[in-house]
């Protein structure tokens, strides 16, 4: 029978742990705690990044309709003269039949080895996107790269695709990757393998790429320190022509060219990471959350076992995220943290409600902590004392009948705590105690029998179990009897 009970208890613990693990895995894959993940990634990636600003500058075009090809060529020539390490153009280009000279000038500006021209990719009915090519005179002059910004389920941009294969089979590098290659940066290309990067956004806490107005650059009003030896991305930053797009939670909305600049900065600073696959993310979340709950539901339970296990699970998830990020992989711990924190909060609220309920229905009784302090005080003074322990078999767990029984026991104990120093207390469940300083073991035995007799009086008789612990010096071990009960180990 005991073996069957043990197996049943083990099965129940396993089922609860599995349920918590599955919940964490689902929350992690579905991005339920994505705002928490965003905040954690921003903190961790910002700390890993250098303190100095990345050598990346955005030149924004406003009033884009007034930017003719000839004027755009003048801007690119100005950037080349300023000593830009690499220049990327993230905007659609069109030929102007009315100004063939302007088209030719722009094509010559694009011939510079430092130039990269963005190609828009449009999602279609097929699995692969379609490339929207610029006019041939411009496409033949510059190196080409895609400017596709992948959006997550919530419509926010967190990642970057280093390569995309279009419908025609062309493998397009990203604008950031192609631009780094144009500048021949140290370590360029070392992050080509992952199918997707997680980009670090500054969240206003660290240095970020600066955005300059293109008109200021043309007029020579922009500082050369933000152009020379910098990677420069040119694109539309006009709200009348293009709406800014949201990044991770906590970060500002940015224009597409500014999102490309964030990816470029992350690549240069080494803060890009490869998110784990959904299957690996779910498996790790299940193991962390389920393992923490299973540890907290051990065969020998105590008051602090579950909270400590849950906190250990949260710490383990955060530590795993930090370690993997060091190796350029990203584990999103938000699902695990959310589920374990919810279980912890639920347990704390349940314990608080139970304590408040006990205080309401058992007014005048001390708590376990207050009784322990009183016992410690009389033991330190060397005062002889007796500790009466009473228990209602089966405990006190709720319902009007047991509430009435607990209140009745409280009144009996309070009636006996007449002298200064006497203290009646509720130890939790169906356990009660009465501290009687200056009382001998014989007198305490008589008091205990009187209480039990009063509890057993006709009407609503109560059968109380009781014991006495009398001490006369500092060798007293009464505090040991006040410890919370632990469930005995089930026999296998």
Query: How many CA atoms lie less than 13 Å away from 270 in the CB half-sphere?
Result: 10
- Per-position pLDDT tens, the chain of length 492: 444 545 555 688 889 999 999 999 999 999 999 999 999 998 888 777 677 778 999 999 987 557 899 999 999 999 999 999 999 999 989 999 999 999 999 999 999 989 999 999 988 666 788 899 999 999 998 899 999 999 999 999 999 999 998 888 889 999 999 988 765 443 333 434 457 889 888 765 557 899 999 988 988 887 778 898 999 999 999 888 889 999 999 898 999 999 999 999 888 888 888 999 999 999 999 999 999 999 998 766 566 889 999 999 999 999 999 999 989 899 999 999 999 999 999 988 887 877 776 665 576 788 888 888 888 888 888 888 899 998 876 554 444 555 677 778 888 888 888 888 899 888 877 788 999 998 888 898 999 898 888 888 876 778 888 888 888 766 777 888 887 765 443 333
Q: Which domain holds residue 88?
A: 50-270
**333 and 316 in a common domain:** yes
Question: Which residue in 124, 129, 122, 115 sits closest to 164, CA to CA?
Answer: 129
Count of domains for the chain? 3
Residue 38 is assigned to a structural domain of this protein? no
Residue 42 is assigned to a structural domain of this protein? no
CATH number at residue 459: 3.30.70.270
**333 and 441 in a common domain:** no
Residue 176 is assigned to a structural domain of this protein? yes
Residue 160 is assigned to a structural domain of this protein? yes
At 419, give phi and psi (nearest 5°): -90, 160
Q: Tell me how far apart the alpha carbons of residues 389 and 397 are, in angstroms, rounded to a whole number.
A: 18
Residue 41 is assigned to a structural domain of this protein? no
Q: What is the pTM of this model?
A: 0.72
CB 160 within 8 A of CB 263: yes
**393 and 456 in a common domain:** yes
pLDDT in the model for residue 462: 81
**133 and 79 in a common domain:** yes
Residue 353 is assigned to a structural domain of this protein? yes
Residue 39 is assigned to a structural domain of this protein? no
**58 and 107 in a common domain:** yes
Which of 270, 287, 302 lies at the terminal end of a domain, its last residue? 270
Tokens coding 449: 């029998």
Residue 155 is assigned to a structural domain of this protein? yes
At 51, give phi and psi (nearest 5°): -75, -20
**434 and 448 in a common domain:** yes
Q: Where are the beta strands (DSSP E) in 363-464?
A: 385-391, 423-428, 431-437
Q: Tell me how far apart the alpha carbons of residues 466 and 374 are, in angstroms, rounded to a whole number.
A: 20
Directed axis angle between helix 334-361 and helix 278-296, to 10°? 30
Contacts of 268 (CB under 8 A, 6+ apart): 54, 55, 56, 180, 185, 231
pLDDT in the model for residue 350: 83
Question: Which residue in 88, 111, 107, 108 sits closest to 96, CA to CA?
Answer: 107
CB 492 within 8 A of CB 10: no
CB 310 within 8 A of CB 346: no
Q: Tell me how far apart the alpha carbons of residues 327 and 237 are, in angstroms, rounded to a whole number.
A: 35
Print the SS3 string covering 11-43. Answer: HHHHHHHHHHHHHHHHHHHHCCCHHHHHHHHHH
Helix H or strand E encompassing 468: strand 465-471
**294 and 424 in a common domain:** no
**213 and 75 in a common domain:** yes
pLDDT in the model for residue 111: 93
Angle among Cα 477, 420, 368 to the nearest 5 degrees reads 45
Q: Tell me how far apart the alpha carbons of residues 456 and 446 are, in angstroms, rounded to a whole number.
A: 15
**155 and 103 in a common domain:** yes
Which of 237, 252, 270 lies at the terminal end of a domain, its last residue? 270
Which of 303, 334, 357 lies at the terminal end of a domain, its last residue? 357
Residue 371, classified by CB atoms within 10 Å of its CB into exposed (0-12), middle (13-18) or buried (19+), is buried
Q: Tell me how far apart the alpha carbons of residues 57 and 111 are, in angstroms, rounded to a whole number.
A: 21
Residue 87's CB: how many other CB atoms inside 10 A? 28
**281 and 266 in a common domain:** no
Dihedral, CA of residue 98, residue 99, residue 103 and residue 104, to nearest 10? 130
- For residue 392, give the 3-state DSSP assignment: coil
Helix H or strand E encompassing 58: strand 56-61
Tokens coding 408: 């009745």
**153 and 61 in a common domain:** yes
Q: Tell me how far apart the alpha carbons of residues 267 and 200 are, in angstroms, rounded to a whole number.
A: 9
**438 and 336 in a common domain:** no
Q: Tell me how far apart the alpha carbons of residues 125 and 131 are, in angstroms, rounded to a whole number.
A: 13
């Amino acid at each position: 029978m005991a073996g069957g009970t043990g197996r049943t208890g083990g099965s129940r613990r396993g089922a609860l742990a599995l349920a918590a693990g599955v919940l964490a895995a689902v929350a992690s894959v579905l991005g339920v705690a994505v705002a928490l993940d965003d905040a954690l990634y921003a903190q961790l990636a910002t700390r890993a990044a250098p303190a100095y600003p990345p050598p990346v500058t955005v030149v924004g075009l406003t009033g884009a309709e007034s930017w003719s090809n000839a004027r755009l060529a003048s801007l690119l020539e100005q950037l080349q003269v300023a000593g830009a390490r690499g220049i990327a153009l993230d905007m659609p280009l069109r030929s102007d039949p009315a100004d063939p000279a302007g088209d030719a000038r722009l094509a010559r500006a694009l011939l510079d080895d430092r130039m990269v021209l963005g190609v828009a990719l449009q999602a279609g009915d097929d699995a692969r996107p379609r490339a929207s090519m610029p006019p041939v005179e411009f496409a033949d002059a510059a190196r080409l790269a895609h400017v596709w910004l992948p959006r997550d389920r919530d419509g926010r941009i967190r990642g970057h695709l280093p390569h995309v294969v279009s419908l025609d089979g062309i493998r397009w590098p990203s604008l950031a990757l192609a631009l780094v290659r144009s500048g021949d940066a140290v370590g360029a290309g070392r992050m080509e393998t992952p199918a997707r990067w997680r980009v670090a956004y500054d969240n206003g806490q660290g240095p970020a790429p600066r955005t300059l107005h293109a008109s200021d650059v043309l007029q020579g009003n922009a500082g050369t320190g933000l152009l020379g030896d910098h990677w420069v991305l040119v694109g539309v930053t006009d709200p009348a022509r293009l709406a800014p797009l949201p990044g991770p939670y906590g970060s500002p909305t940015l224009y597409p060219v500014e999102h490309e600049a964030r990816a470029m900065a992350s690549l240069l600073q080494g803060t890009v990471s490869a998110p784990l696959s959904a299957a690996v993310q779910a498996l790790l979340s299940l193991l962390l959350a389920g393992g923490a709950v299973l540890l907290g539901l051990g065969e020998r339970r105590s008051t602090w076992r579950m909270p400590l296990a849950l906190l250990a699970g949260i710490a383990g998830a955060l530590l795993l995220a930090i370690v993997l990020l060091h190796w350029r992989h990203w584990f999103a711990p938000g699902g695990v943290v959310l589920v374990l924190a919810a279980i912890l909060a639920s347990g704390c609220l349940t314990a608080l409600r139970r304590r408040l309920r006990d205080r309401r229905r058992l007014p005048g009784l001390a708590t376990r902590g207050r009784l322990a302090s009183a016992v410690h005080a009389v033991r330190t003074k060397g005062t002889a004392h007796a500790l009466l322990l009473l228990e209602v078999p089966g405990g006190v767990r709720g319902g009007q009948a047991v509430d009435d029984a607990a209140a009745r026991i409280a009144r009996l104990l309070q009636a006996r705590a007449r002298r200064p120093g006497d203290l009646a207390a509720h130890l939790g469940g169906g356990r009660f105690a009465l501290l009687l300083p200056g009382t001998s073991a014989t007198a305490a035995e008589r008091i205990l029998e009187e209480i039990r007799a009063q509890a057993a009086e006709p009407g609503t008789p109560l059968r109380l179990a009781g014991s006495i612990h009398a001490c006369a010096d500092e060798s007293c071990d009464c505090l040991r009897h006040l410890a919370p009960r632990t469930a005995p180990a089930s026999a296998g």
